[in-house]
Structure 1
Amino acid sequence: MTNTTDILCIGSVLWDVIGRSASHMRQGSDVPGRITRLPGGVAMNIAMTLVRFGMKPTLLTAIGRDAEGDELVHSCSMLGMDTDHIYRSEDLPTDRYMAVEGANGLIAAIADAHSLEAAGAKILHPLIHGPLGSENSPFDGPIALDGNLTIALLEEIAQSPAFGRADLRVAPASPGKAERLLPFLQHGRATLYLNLEEASLLCQREFTDSASAADCLLERGARRALVTDGGNSATEASADGILTRTPPPVLVTRVTGAGDTFMAAHIAAEAKGADRDEALGRALNAAATYVSGDTPL
């Protein structure tokens, strides 16, 4: 099928409720700070960054037909995303994510993506049964996919003919969902984006650096792997070799969404023709700018 959209973003689109404090925090801390509610979710965070880099993403997700869902869809449209193919459920509420961040990083987070999981394959209907694609005429552009989908649905995507011609880019959504990406190692059709902890969980090995983690992911079957490690070196590994770069040092003011920003910036750079080294550098710079607080929330 002829590609009629810049990129598909498949996965969680929800409301982020995030409390941030400039204080160091521990379990039981009660400190002053700010609480925000903004459109979020892995697929949404990726889409927002892609828009900033001049791309128009199409969202495939599940959003309830409640008031929060109507507001969320409207926000996505206003941000420059195609919302025409979102599955709107009559009986499932709009999902939410809640996190607390201190000066010492992420303290705790809960992702409530139960409606996305319950919707299952319904969110893929436009991609499998048209108008975006089908098994006989598959979508042939880039797809950003997150691991908030069920294991069964991710397994289906990893081997479905409807995804056979796509440039599939996959992130796990969180360390707790890293092992859901195992089908993409077994079927070897995706580029994987993980942090060091997620790579260790997926490979069931402890890594001390991004290069060894990315190399192991290739050995385990990934087509390509990008592994980040906070302010330490990040690595891109493929059949063309292993490339490692160090991000610029910045003062960290937020962490939620940093990995999504890295992934989106890397996709956008390659879409504009950047080579491996330039694309990795642009992605690291974008993530560093994001965590420093110099880009809009």
Structure 2
Amino acid sequence: MTSPDILCIGSVLWDIIGRTDTSLRARGDVAGRITRIPGGVAMNIAMTLARFGLRPAVLTALGTDGEGDELIAAAQSLGVATEFALRTPDLPTDCYMAIEDATGLIAAIADAHSLEAAGDAILLPLADGRLATPAAPWAGPIALDGNLTAELLTEIATSPLFTAADLRIAPASPGKAERLIPVMRHPRATLYVNRQEAGLITGHTHASAAEAAEALVAAGAARALVTDGAHPAADAARAAPVLIHAARPVQARRITGAGDTFMAAHLFAETRGATRDEALARAQAAAAAYVAFEDFQP
């Protein structure tokens, strides 16, 4: 078995997404497309990193139902290692449902109850020697998502299993952003959020991504990257200048997964030696290509 380059911890599920090129705000029933694809924050990041040439593995919870078997097969076909995933016969495989129109995301429901119920059992490979032990913790990058419970994220913040990791943290949604407050203060953590999520964490409304990123560092984050849709994104870190990079104007044809693509591209660039400015530029380019349904090479 080849050792993974990076661990992606969190949600691996089926995305069920309905998209239409018209506006749903004007009428309730329109023509469009409904797709079912592998998704979840951890899976989205892992799939993107695998496409870029890395060897990601997911730590998650999946049912032993047919949906779970299909998802395992799909992940493996995309280059994502699943042998460390927890299979739970008493819980169903999670799913996510979203509706998007020409203006963006209209509504979404995330059913991550099985992941939440599994709790810290998904971290066992980091403790039992399969990937690491408390005495010899994982020292590579870890992408961590906010679909984990607030209790587990608080535990991870001080766990010996994560003391040596390059910890990259993403929220699952604005509604779960505040769960990240304890773990964002991990001394080796980088936080990835959008401007709305940053405001929920800091308790303030910020006029720009740069202002939001600075506020997150002031609130205890070692480093924070903040996106703002079609507006510039920012990278703030302790004892370092704040960087900003404009977004390339594109016609948005999909929204779900754009932030995960930004994070994966940024992480990949830094694993390949890119500077902070270069990595931010590549992440913005990847996110723009993703929402426009364009090809992107890191």
TM-score range, shorter chain: over 0.9
Report the counterpart of residue 291 of structure 1 in structure 2: 291
**Is the CA contact (8 Å cut-off) linking 1:185 and 1:220 kept in structure 2?**
no
What is the alpha-carbon distance in structure 2 between the residues aligned to residue 88 and residue 295 of structure 1? Answer: 34
Distance 1:80-1:212 versus aligned 2 partners, 3 A rule:
same
Distance 1:21-1:234 versus aligned 2 partners, 3 A rule:
same
Aligned partner of residue 241 in structure 1, secondary structure: coil
What is the alpha-carbon distance in structure 1 between the residues aligned to residue 270 and residue 152 of structure 2? Answer: 27
**Is the CA contact (8 Å cut-off) linking 1:185 and 1:217 kept in structure 2?**
no
Distance 1:195-1:142 versus aligned 2 partners, 3 A rule:
same
Report the counterpart of residue 232 of structure 1 in structure 2: 231
Aligned partner of residue 129 in structure 1, secondary structure: coil
Distance 1:187-1:9 versus aligned 2 partners, 3 A rule:
closer
**Is the CA contact (8 Å cut-off) linking 2:165 and 2:188 kept in structure 1?**
no
The residue type equivalent to 1:177 in the other structure is K
**Is the CA contact (8 Å cut-off) linking 1:188 and 1:221 kept in structure 2?**
no
Question: Any runs of at least 4 consecutive aligned residues in structure 1 with deviations exceeding 3 A, and if so which?
Answer: 185-189
What is the alpha-carbon distance in structure 2 between the residues aligned to residue 28 and residue 250 of structure 1? Answer: 25
TM-score, normalised via structure 2 length: 0.96
Distance 1:27-1:112 versus aligned 2 partners, 3 A rule:
farther
Report the counterpart of residue 47 of structure 1 in structure 2: 46
What is the alpha-carbon distance in structure 2 between the residues aligned to residue 232 and residue 40 of structure 1? Answer: 26
The residue type equivalent to 1:33 in the other structure is G
Q: How many residues align?
A: 294
What is the alpha-carbon distance in structure 1 between the residues aligned to residue 133 and residue 111 of structure 2? Answer: 30
Shift of 1:189: 3.6
1:175-216 deviation line (CA, Å, top 9, x unaligned): 000000010244444100000000000111111100110001
The residue type equivalent to 2:136 in the other structure is S
Shift of 1:24: 1.1
What is the alpha-carbon distance in structure 1 between the residues aligned to residue 186 and residue 259 of structure 2? Answer: 24
Structure 2 residue 24 is the aligned partner of structure 1 residue 25: yes
TM-score, normalised via structure 1 length: 0.97
Report the counterpart of residue 277 of structure 2 in structure 1: 277
1:233-263 deviation line (CA, Å, top 9, x unaligned): 1000112220001011111101000000000
Unaligned runs of 5+ in 2: none
Please give the residue correspondences for 1:4-23 in structure 2 after superposition, counting only pairs within 5 Å: 4-23=3-22
The residue type equivalent to 2:166 in the other structure is D
Aligned partner of residue 88 in structure 1, secondary structure: strand
Please give the residue correspondences for 1:92-241 in structure 2 after superposition, counting only pairs within 5 Å: 92-239=91-238, 240-241=240-241
Unaligned runs of 5+ in 1: none
